[in-house]
Amino acid sequence: MKNNAKISFIVTGALIAAAYAGLTFLCGAFGIAYGPIQLRLSEVLTLLPIFTPAAIPGLTVGCFIANIGSFNALDMIFGTLATLIAAILTYYLRNIRFKGLPLLAMLPPVIINAVVIGFEISWFLLDDGFSLWGFLISGLEIGVSELIVCYAFGIPFYLIIKKYNIFNRNKI
């Protein structure tokens, strides 16, 4: 990478991190960013690895900062790892298209968060400790929330970014 490309990569990642953390904190002010039912609008940004690899570190750092608001060290670790894994998978699935849309690339945040955060909630946050039933319910709640954000909001988000060529893949 040339110096300008490195700087562009770092700045893009930093802007994504700031946007993710800021949107999560905004959702937290309305009580929808943390807990068993999460409608983090910031999760729409998990689609950005489709456009730029700079989104992978950006989302990871942004998620870590955002999860500080959960006041739960385990969420800072496991939630951040879930976002990192989902971002990497999204990046690798970005070129698989159905009718021109990267629908498969939008799925990793849904599945990874449903499993990881569902497990985290059922194991660490429920008073009764881990139970399969608690895991299934928590995973379903998180999965449905992610599905809404990543597809209902994500498809229009993707189309806008693509239409206006916001991320020029040759530069970032």
Question: What global pTM score does this model have?
Answer: 0.92
Contacts of 87 (CB under 8 A, 6+ apart): 46, 49, 55, 56, 59, 60, 108, 109
**Buried (b) or exposed (e) across 87-99, using 16+ Cβ within 10 A?**
bbbbbebbeeeee
Comparing 21 with 171, the larger pLDDT belongs to: 21
Q: What is the DSSP letter of 122?
A: I
**Do residues 134 and 122 touch, judged by C-beta distance below 8 A?**
yes
Structural tokens at position 24? 């999560």
Residues 99-152: pLDDT tens digits? Answer: 999 999 999 999 999 999 999 888 876 667 678 888 999 999 999 999 999 999
